[in-house]
Amino acid sequence: MTVTQTSGEVATREAYGKTLAALGGERQDIIVLDADLSGSTKTANFKKLYPDRFFNMGVSECNMIGTASGLASTGLTVFASSFSMFAVGKAFEQVRQEIALPVANVKICGTHAGITVGEDGASHQTLEDIAIMRVLPNMRVFVPADARETEQVIRAVAASPGPAYVRLSRMKTPQFLPDDYNFEIGKINTLRDGADITIAATGTTVMHALAAADALASKGISARILNVCSIKPLDTETLVKAARETGAIVTVEEHQRAGGMGSAVAEVVAEHAACPVRRLGMNDRFGESGSGGQLMDHFGLTAPAISGAALELLGHAS
């Protein structure tokens, strides 16, 4: 599978807004809360169509999460949205105490995650949210790679009771997953098979991993590409199979190396199928201001750096 733009560039936050609006027409139990950012999170699409089921909670994520939990306790399915930095960082206590602990049927959808937020800079580039959310019992964590997968993820979490965190991007990216693509909670999709090395990517980095596989193929190296959208629950079986069959894994994400998807992969590999793992991500530092594309390249999360890391790892593993 190569990266091909099938129908223009769409930010995953935009796909979220459209899918949420569609769900509102299909299900009367869907309620949406936002922290005064509905134009940016794209929940404004839902607000326009179903104003009686939309609540602007103001600049108060903590209150939004508490209210979401209360509404969910009445049998409703609640989506709560803000920028990831605020939904996760500002409201952690409420997320832990009022969503994860009572297993509330609330879907926290954080937009503007990672360094692809771009010019907003380090203060808004949340790089810790996967680590924070995956450590919470009962919380599931998903990072869709493009608009098509986003629609499937939002529909899947709406249909599955209990807490979920969905990480969404600001930057527009190609829609490259095929029409017959099928997301399942707890499953990793193998986008390309390979025998020499595995590259496991999540979110906006998946398209770069595929491009890296093309570069490696030109050097005679066969790279297996895994789309790790479901970070928790994690598909241990697919990871162990990849570790045993390829013998080396590179992970890539726009998140801190500590505690992110790469850490989750390394934990599985260490326990079940030890092999070398190289984690690409933010190395214990904050981001910078710049365009999303510039920052991805600057911090080594695009195809040249990924393929370079794979070659280096193969050299050490041989």
SS (H, E, C) the chain: CCCCCCCCEECHHHHHHHHHHHHHHHCCCEEEEECCCHHHHCCHHHHHHCHHHEEECCCCHHHHHHHHHHHHCCCCEEEEEEEHHHHHHHCHHHHHHHHHCCCCCEEEEEECECHHHHHHCCCCCECCHHHHHHCCCCCEEECCCCHHHHHHHHHHHHHCCCCEEEECCCCCEECCCCCCCCCCCCCCEEEECCCCEEEEECHHHHHHHHHHHHHHHCCCCCEEEEECCEEECCCHHHHHHHHHHHCCEEEEEEEECCCCHHHHHHHHHHHHCCCCEEEEEECCCCCCCCCHHHHHHHCCCCHHHHHHHHHHHHHHHC
Output the six-digit token pair for 131.
């680590």
Q: Which of 14, 61, 128, 253 is catalytic?
A: 61
- End-to-end, the C-alpha distance of the chain in Å comes to 27
Told to judge if 288 belongs to the known catalytic residues of this protein, a careful annotator would answer no
Whether 32 and 158 have beta carbons less than 8 Å apart is answered as no
Burial grade of 11 (CB within 10 A; 0-12, 13-18, 19 or more):
buried
CA separation for the pair 70, 102 (Å, rounded): 11
Active-site amino acid positions:
61
